Amino acid sequence: GGKVAINTTIINFNKEKMKITWATREIFPDENVSFFYTFDEGKHQVWKPCTTYLLDQDYNSGCLFKTEGPTLAISIRSSNGSKELFFKRLKADFYIKPRPPENVTFFWEEDTVTVSCNKPKRNALCLTLELQYKSKFDKTWQSRISKCCSVGEQGFDPRKCYSFRVRLWRLRQCNVKNYSSDWEAETFWKNGMLLDSCDDDVTPQSKTVIVLSCSQAVLLMMLILLILLCKWQRVQMSVLPAIPDPKYPFADLFNDHNGNLQEWLDKNDHVVLQTKLEYEEPESITEAESQQEDGKNSDKQGPLEKIFTFSGAAENNDGKAAEIACLIPASNTAAPFAGFHILMNDDMYVML
């Protein structure tokens, strides 16, 4: 070093260009320093001023210049160049940053992929090739490193789309700093086929999942609303039962009699009575026939005592209908019925 210790960063871009940066703002915050360099050795050194400065808030903080040899000497001086603030001599080949791999190829065989690149003309033994890959379902990159200039990996799913990128590393035994190259352009592969991107591999599936999820949600909501509607109707019917409209079963009461109940009853009383008689008469005939058959069976066992019930008309208060009456026949009277003559005594009666 020189009179002042200054932190510097030195990068030799594949023996083509040098980049040297320094941090003098902490030591000389109000002074803009100048930079000189030389690749010459011995007494006849020719110092060259920096022609391309890197600036930090309008202050010189670095220099770019062409690589001209393996040995380099640098000097950081005051703004006018009269006072040297820092001096350092170094091996430029110990600060090499390799260039990105060239002519990268991918070879697929089932679930195994092998990546290779062109082998550099110089110092290939000081380089390693790194492969990184991930699918859309991976959060971080998976990494594999092998000697220059081929690396392989297996276990790839042919149904997934993968992103690949590669770069070269300079081994530490060949460098002071373990520099790597920039990443080669990222590529996308699926089942051994090169794609423009992996977006198409995820977007359709995501849209399908969204459509199905929305459809299921809508159907579920409709089902829930239908169930709630049915339950609400049941609750409403139990709490507030429907009141029947009387104008449908009693249409003639409202249409013909204008709602006059007494007039409607007077007119329809004989209809009610006739309906009642029609309803009771079949039962009476059936009962009589049943009793007649029982009488035939009982003739063989002893004296006949039979009861016949007939449907009769009952008299109402208005005299328009007859009430049910019991007619008691005279003793030992013969009553004809259905072609038969039946002897009736005092203990028998007929209902009309």
pLDDT in tens, 268-326: 765 554 555 454 454 444 454 555 555 555 454 444 344 334 344 344 444 444 444 44
- The model's pTM is 0.53
Q: Which of 68, 97, 126 is the last residue of a domain?
A: 97
Q: How far is CA 344 from CA 254, 311, 352, in A?
A: 52, 19, 16
Structure tokens, 181: 């190259």
Q: Which residues contact 124 (CB under 8 A, 6 or more apart)?
A: 148, 149
59 and 131 share one domain? no
Q: Does 51 map to a domain?
A: yes
Q: Does 204 map to a domain?
A: no
Q: Which residues contact 174 (CB under 8 A, 6 or more apart)?
A: 94, 96, 123, 125, 126
CATH number at residue 75: 2.60.40.10
87 and 136 share one domain? no
First to last CA, the chain: 146
75 and 49 share one domain? yes
Q: Does 89 map to a domain?
A: yes
Q: What angle do CA 161, 164, 170 make, to 5 degrees?
A: 165
> Is residue 314 within 8 Å of residue 272, measured between CB atoms?
no
78 and 46 share one domain? yes
CA 347 to CA 234: how far, in whole Å?
Answer: 60
Boundaries of domain holding 59? 8-97
CA 52 to CA 65: how far, in whole Å?
Answer: 7
145-203 pLDDT, tens digit each: 998 889 988 889 888 899 999 999 998 888 888 899 999 999 999 888 888 888 865 44
Q: Does 262 map to a domain?
A: no
Q: Does 265 map to a domain?
A: no
Q: Does 282 map to a domain?
A: no
- The whole-number pLDDT of residue 35 equals 93
191 and 109 share one domain? yes
Q: Which of 146, 162, 195 is the last residue of a domain?
A: 195
27 and 67 share one domain? yes
30 and 57 share one domain? yes
What is the biggest distance separating any 2 CA atoms in the chain, rounded to whole angstroms? 175
- The whole-number pLDDT of residue 332 equals 55
Q: Which of 134, 168, 195 is the last residue of a domain?
A: 195
Place of tokens 């001086």: 77
52 and 115 share one domain? no
60 and 124 share one domain? no
Q: Which residues contact 70 (CB under 8 A, 6 or more apart)?
A: 91, 92, 93
Segment 199-206 long-range contacts (CB within 8 Å, at least 24 positions apart): 201/136, 201/160, 201/161, 202/136, 202/161
Q: Does 251 map to a domain?
A: no
12 and 90 share one domain? yes
The mean per-residue pLDDT over the stretch 26-49 comes to 86
169 and 118 share one domain? yes
Structure tokens, 279: 């309803």
Q: Does 352 map to a domain?
A: no
**Lowest mean per-residue pLDDT among 2-6, 22-26, 333-337:** 333-337
3-state SS, residue 323 = coil
**DSSP state, 185?**
P
Q: How many domains does the chain have?
A: 2
208-221 pLDDT, tens digit each: 777 888 888 888 98
